[in-house]
Amino acid sequence: MNIKVTIAYNGSNYHGFERQKNAVGVQNVIEDALLKLTGEKTDIIGCSRTDTGVHAREFIFNFHTETELKINRIVTGLNHFLPSDIAAKSAETVPDDFHARYSCTGKEYEYLIFCSKNRNPFYENLAFRYSVPIDENLLQKELAVIVGKHDFRSFCGQNGIRENTVREIYAADIKRVGDIITITISGDGFLYNMIRIIVGTLLEINEGKREPGAMLHILNALDRSAAGRTAPPEGLYLNRVYYEK
């Protein structure tokens, strides 16, 4: 069987999703849990990589197995063996050619900013604390520039530069609820550190370090050095993963 599993995780204790040799990735922990559950050594396929400290409200992986466990036992069994900061939400059988990464048609990310000069233990490692007042209207205008199909080379970390850096952004929005600012961006795919560089650049515009309208000039520059800093990982969440058009 080819099994598709949806999980959520707090990434604070992990060096990203992918399996690591000298550190602990979420994949290491899940594959250990599957070994205990099925007795099979399994290589799971994740929908994304995610950086150290990044979280996921919805993350998809698939794996092939000969286990005779009923599908509803996959979720309860995984949750029995997984630590409290990783949770299986659902599981289903899928066609043999389903691939969590290559079958994916789009993703939605959220970046959470806790607007306060003071720490709050309930947001520790779960949102980026930022003490400068945020002008949501200004940043929404800047975000509008990235919607559509563009070459996002300026917003790609140097370690992730590929020949094709064109991506399509479907929507990009900012909203405030109390002390929390949420920046939501969805698209057909994302480059290495792309969301965090976009957010870091927005914050520099918010701080007056860059002129309003800078986002368009940076996008057209096709040069990472033209963009702003990379925002910290703790505010970033993989929010949704899409497999339909």
In a domain, 101, yes or no: no
Residues 73 and 119 occupy one common structural domain: no
Q: Which of 49, 65, 94 is at the close of a domain? A: 94
By residue range, what is the domain housing residue 210? 106-242
Residues 120 and 81 occupy one common structural domain: no
Q: CA–CA separation, 48 vs 7, rounded Å?
A: 12
Burial 47-73 (b: 16+ CB within 10 A, else e): bbebbbbbbbebbbbbbebebeeeeee
| Per-residue confidence (pLDDT) for residue 160, from 0 to 100 | 60
The type of residue at 9 is Y
Residues 175 and 196 occupy one common structural domain: yes
Residues 87 and 129 occupy one common structural domain: no
In a domain, 76, yes or no: yes
In a domain, 100, yes or no: no
Per-residue pLDDT tens digits for 145-161? 999 999 999 999 877 66
Residues 123 and 6 occupy one common structural domain: no
96 in catalytic set: no
In a domain, 234, yes or no: yes
Q: CA–CA separation, 176 vs 178, rounded Å?
A: 6
pTM (2 decimals)?
A: 0.94
Number of domains observed in the structure of the chain:
2
Residues 31 and 145 occupy one common structural domain: no
Catalytic residue among 51, 135, 151, 173: 51
Residues 139 and 88 occupy one common structural domain: no
Spell out the long-range contacts of 38-43 with Cβ–Cβ below 8 A and sequence spacing 24 or more.
38/65, 38/67, 38/69, 39/67, 40/65, 40/66, 40/67
Residues 197 and 217 occupy one common structural domain: yes
Residues 236 and 134 occupy one common structural domain: yes
Residues 75 and 150 occupy one common structural domain: no
Q: Which structure tokens are listed for 207?
A: 């701080």
Per-residue pLDDT tens digits for 79-136? 999 999 999 999 999 999 999 999 999 999 999 999 999 999 999 999 999 999 999 9
Residues 70 and 137 occupy one common structural domain: no
Q: Which of 138, 142, 119, 101 is nearest to 234 (CA)?
A: 119
Per-residue pLDDT for 38 more than 70?
yes
